[in-house]
Amino acid sequence: MTGAGSPHASPPGKGNAFGVYVHWPFCLSKCPYCDFNSHVRHAPVDEDRFARAFAREIETTAARTPGREVSSIFLGGGTPSLMRPQTVGAILDAIAKHWRVAPGVEVTLEANPTSVEATRFAGYRSAGVNRVSLGVQSLDDAALAQLGRLHSAREALEAVAVARDSFERFSFDLIYARPDQTPDAWQAELDRALDEDSEHLSLYQLTIEADTPFATLHAAGKLRIPDPDAARVLYDVTQEVTAARGLPAYEVSNHARPGAECRHNLIYWRYGEYAGVGPGAHGRLQVDGARVATATEKHPERWLLRVESRGHGLIVDDTLSREEQADELLLMGLRLTEGIDPVRFAATAGRPLDASRIADLCTQHLLEIDGAGRLRVTPAGFPLLDAVVADLAA
């Protein structure tokens, strides 16, 4: 990446984090649980053409957000590790050409943990990637087969080892609360994962997403997942084991050594400013004093044609009302163990949070106010987060 850290006059918003999310929408096969914007193509994808479209959309988005300094970049998917390193390099160069890039910028790439992908890691590092997030999902081969993954546990651990040698920082994802998973088996799997000494782990409970093959199997009674009580026991195991090993939760599903949190995802949860480029990417931008929600066309080739003809793939470009912003701030911020600043909520909404609802939730030990006046969900409240947020937002 060129242009990183070049000295310029202070832009507006200096000191504020600004993230760029780039979506690569292709996968080798579709996992049966996944409802992300990912597509399988049986003919080779024209990466050069996509790279030109990414650069064009980056240019258009940067023109709306002049003077920002990019503090993090996240290449997510789909499977961004299917991209050639030069495609990643071209995207990062376009970002550095049209925005200023902060010294020490965090550049994360999501990678599937196969041996083929691991061979590209050195190229990604040369292109400017300094952090990878690997979709390991499980360290049990039978579970990986059930999840429809194309890699074995051994192959995943080999990719983790290459990631450790290739990048300054790495993280990996596991899915738990899988069919028939016992607390003892999950504890052993998690302990094995923590032996890899990753500074960051994303630990997701299996969710049955609508319109996926898992949803069909589940509805037919052919896929039984842990009931809420059993899932709660697995959740508690997750919190205990990760905290004991120095990676406490800092967000509902994300764990890190203190200081090793994903800076890019923190922008979302702290309700900061970020641009979304690529098919189906979402953004939240400050434009002429308004907060704007953006989303692009999801279908890859339709997005490509739109960008080629109009310079962007936007299908949503809406100014958010103060109430909408306040709801989003609450929804995102309460996912973090650090919680939210009620003063910021009041400034955003134009009204304070309902004191009697806060008092009720505090009495139930689901919510607390810390010494700095921040409002945060308690460990007992996190498993009930959706209900707590709904109650406060009502």
Site string for ligand SAM, 99-118 (x = CB under 6 A): -----------x-x------
Contact code string over 102-141 relative to ligand SF4, x by CB under 6 A? ----------x----------------------x------
What does 276 bind: ligand SAM, ligand SF4, none (CB cut-off 5 to 8 Å by kind)?
Answer: none
Q: How far is the CB of 34 from ligand SAM (least distance, A)?
A: 4
Residue nearest to ligand SAM (CB): 135
- Do 240 and 187 contact (CB within 8 A), yes or no? no
Determine which residue in the list 65, 87, 137, 138 makes contact with ligand SAM, applying CB under 6 A.
137
> Do the Cβ atoms of 296 and 279 come closer than 8 Å?
yes
x-or-dash string of contact with ligand SAM, 57-96, rule CB under 6 A: -------------------xx-x-----------------
156 binds ligand SF4 (CB under 6 A): no
Residue 80: both structure tokens together: 């961004």
What is the DSSP pairing of strand 69-77 with strand 282-287? unpaired
- Applying CB under 6 A, among 19, 23, 24, 38 the residue interacting with ligand SF4 is 38
Distance CA 53, CA 112 (A): 24
Site for ligand SAM in 158-177 (CB under 6 A): 173, 175
* Cβ pair 69, 11 in contact under 8 A: yes
Span between the terminal Cα atoms of the chain, in Å: 46
Residue 24, beta-bridge partner list: 77
> Binding partner of residue 30 among ligand SF4, ligand SAM, none, CB under 5 to 8 Å per kind?
ligand SF4
Instruction: Tell me which H or E stretch contains 373.
Output: none
What is the strand order of the sheet 18-24 is part of? 249-251, 254-256, 200-205, 169-176, 131-137, 100-111, 69-77, 18-24, 273-277, 282-287, 290-296, 314-319
Rounded CA-CA distance 33/272 in Å is 30
| Pairing of the two strands 100-111 and 18-24 | unpaired
Q: In the stretch 185-224, what mask flags binding to ligand SAM with x, by CB under 6 A?
A: -------------------x-xx-x---------------
| Between 31 and 375, CB nearer to ligand SAM | 31
Query: Binders of ligand SF4: how many residues, by CB under 6 A?
Result: 11
What's at 340, amino acid-wise? I
CB of 110 to ligand SAM, least distance (A): 5
Partner from ligand SAM, ligand SF4, none binding residue 204, C-beta < 5-8 Å depending on class = ligand SAM
**Residue 387 in tokens:** 């209900």
60: left (phi over 0), alpha (psi -120 to 50) or beta: alpha
Provide the CB-side half-sphere exposure for 97 (13 A, CA). 13
Nearest approach in angstroms of CB 236 to ligand SAM is 18
Name the residue with tokens 């940067």: 62
Binding site for ligand SAM (CB under 6 A): 33-34, 36, 76-77, 79, 110, 112, 135, 137, 173, 175, 204, 206-207, 209
Binding site for ligand SF4 (CB under 6 A): 27, 30-31, 34, 36, 38, 77-79, 112, 135
